[in-house]
Amino acid sequence: MTDVNTILAEADKALDQSLDRLFDLVRIPSISTDTAYKEDCRRAAERIVADLSGLGFSAALRDTPGHPMVVAHFEPKGATGKVPHFLFYGHYDVQPPDPLDKWMTPPFQPEKRTGKDGIVRLYGRGTADDKGQLMTFIEAMRAWITTTGTLPLKATILIEGEEESGSPSLIPFLKQNRGELSCDAAFVCDTNMWDEKTPAITTRLRGMVKDEITITGPRVDLHSGAYGGPAANPIRILSRLLSKLHDKNGKVTIPGFYEGVSDLPKEVKVQWQKLKFSDRKFLREVGLSVPAGEKGKGALEQVWARPTAEVNGIWGGYMGAGTKTVIPSQAHAKLTFRLVGKQKPEKILKAFRAFAKAEVPKDCRIDFAAYGSGSPASEIAGTSPLIRKSAKALKDEFGRDTALIGSGGSIPIVRYFKDILGMDSVLIGFGLNDDALHSPNEKYNLSSFHRGIRSWVRILAALAR
């Protein structure tokens, strides 16, 4: 068998070309939540299909009612006996880039820049979430194939195009392709390291459910002098409703909200304390200093193990230049709930809607947009042999123990791999907290990309053993 160092050397040598391929993918604005970018989503999928076909995968673009999936298979050459079969997952879709004026360089014109701190960063929407990450395993496979002519295991790659919009086509797709997609386990590359020097495997993800409300009061916008007082103002109704979502201790007040949420087990608390996380630094990095959220709970516990109700956007009434004395006809808000433990997304949505309706006077109306049923949280045991093997491979690359961490974000597919395909996931990614996911100036460190590729080279070797 080829020495893993030979393959690592190939990955190092090819880094510039790997980067070119990543930048070509980042140039395609595959924004899944905005229908104006439907063709771009398709182009991104086609590009990945072409790339994988060139590597010897049997790769195909697979249509869904939404954006297409990419599915590719690789049969190792000269394999004898039973070879392990793993699935590798990433997503080619990205979040909208706005506010555009906050970007130092255009979001879909990727750029490599060296900071004053000497760190080389790759800027562009999707460099970290998730194009840079999914390219780490593809480029690692390329290094294996270039060096040895094959991969040391059977690989299936699934690249989704709707992750950032809640994966509406995913459940039927997994159900229809159960046989083809069921593997020994899935490797999901869409999460973070602990810090730039310390690799991590994520064992908890929050679930999520979304809603959007529109409150309608008077039939049309009214003169606020002529009607101010007797006429209900939808913006005031909306603000009162939103302000009632949390009590003074930061707890969500929706009846039944905490059903299925358990307190953090003592041993987990102890394990997280050992990570020596600085809440102050965490807030300072985003320009804040006063801890918000649930009283008495630290930032890690809140982000990794507690549910939230957040308002993501609010609008209505006059928003142009200057002033306008008006009582608006409508007010709107977008909300998301992050879920943990056994919280059920459908139940949370129902409870929120009942809560919201009760706040609206009977001559006004409230409407809710349909954004699907959401997805529950995932918890993965940190003790499986696959996690141990992967943690060891990561340690070999970084020279440091691999941290087992949680994540506050959501990756709906992890739960569906388990529930629909009976397949466990191993979550390994090379992102950093300051990558500015979903924000302006998203970046991926060049070292994340490079060591990510090298890590997968090692993980593939370890999995084959």
Going from the C-alpha of 438 to that of each of 2, 98, 387, the distances in angstroms are 40, 9, 28
Provide the minimum distance between the beta carbon of 398 and ligand BES in the complex, in angstroms, as a whole number: 18
Nearest to 190 by CA among 425, 462, 458: 425
Task: Verify binding: residue 129, Mn ion, rule CB under 5 A.
Answer: yes
Residue number of the CB closest to ligand BES reads 409
Nearer to ligand BES, 19 or 437 (CB): 437
Per rule CB under 5 A, count of chain residues that contact Mn ion: 3
> Quick one: which of 127, 136, 191, 203 contacts ligand BES (CB under 6 A)?
191
Task: Verify binding: residue 93, Mn ion, rule CB under 5 A.
Answer: no
Nearer to Mn ion, 51 or 190 (CB): 190
Q: Which helix (H) or strand (E) holds 223?
A: strand 222-223
Rounded CA separation 268/259 (Å) = 21
Provide the minimum distance between the beta carbon of 150 and ligand BES in the complex, in angstroms, as a whole number: 30
Give the binding range for Mn ion (CB under 5 A) out of 6-14, 60-68, 126-134, 270-278. Answer: 126-134
What is the pattern of x (binds ligand BES, CB under 6 A) and - over residues 376-415?
-------------------------------x-xxxx---
CA angle (360 as vertex; 307, 366 as ends), nearest 5: 80
Nearer to Mn ion, 186 or 351 (CB): 186
Rounded CA separation 431/191 (Å) = 6
Q: What are phi and psi of 141, to 5 degrees?
A: -65, -35
Nearer to ligand BES, 154 or 306 (CB): 306
Q: Which of residues 411-450 bind ligand BES (CB under 6 A)?
A: 411-412, 437
The SS3 of residue 121 is strand
Task: Verify binding: residue 129, ligand BES, rule CB under 6 A.
Answer: yes
Provide the minimum distance between the beta carbon of 237 and ligand BES in the complex, in angstroms, as a whole number: 28
**326 near 218, Cβ under 8 Å?**
no
Q: What are phi and psi of 172, to 5 degrees?
A: -60, -35
Residue 412 binds which one of ligand BES, Mn ion, none, with CB within 5 to 8 A depending on kind?
ligand BES
Nearest to 189 by CA among 141, 121, 124, 120: 141
Beta-bridged to residue 208, according to DSSP, are 338, 375
Rounded CA separation 375/372 (Å) = 9
Supply the DSSP symbol for 374.
Answer: -
Give the binding range for Mn ion (CB under 5 A) out of 123-131, 353-361, 370-378, 416-424. Answer: 123-131
Provide the minimum distance between the beta carbon of 84 and ligand BES in the complex, in angstroms, as a whole number: 26
Provide the minimum distance between the beta carbon of 163 and ligand BES in the complex, in angstroms, as a whole number: 5
> Quick one: which of 190, 294, 301, 435 contacts Mn ion (CB under 5 A)?
190
Task: Verify binding: residue 161, ligand BES, rule CB under 6 A.
Answer: no
Rounded CA separation 29/323 (Å) = 36
Q: Which of residues 203-232 bind ligand BES (CB under 6 A)?
A: 208
The SS3 of residue 191 is coil
Provide the minimum distance between the beta carbon of 202 and ligand BES in the complex, in angstroms, as a whole number: 7
Rounded CA separation 359/199 (Å) = 47
Q: Which of residues 162-181 bind ligand BES (CB under 6 A)?
A: 163-164, 166
H runs (alpha helix) in 29-169? 38-54, 131-148
> Quick one: which of 10, 40, 130, 162 contacts ligand BES (CB under 6 A)?
130
Rounded CA separation 192/194 (Å) = 6
Rounded CA separation 214/234 (Å) = 9
> Quick one: which of 10, 51, 93, 130 contacts Mn ion (CB under 5 A)?
130
Rounded CA separation 258/347 (Å) = 11
Nearer to Mn ion, 145 or 426 (CB): 426
The SS3 of residue 150 is coil
Give the binding range for ligand BES (CB under 6 A) out of 140-148, 159-167, 358-366, 418-426. Answer: 159-167
Residue 44 binds which one of Mn ion, ligand BES, none, with CB within 5 to 8 A depending on kind?
none
Rounded CA separation 279/216 (Å) = 41
Task: Verify binding: residue 152, ligand BES, rule CB under 6 A.
Answer: no
Binding site for ligand BES (CB under 6 A): 129-130, 163-164, 166, 190-192, 208, 407, 409-412, 437
Binding site for Mn ion (CB under 5 A): 129-130, 190
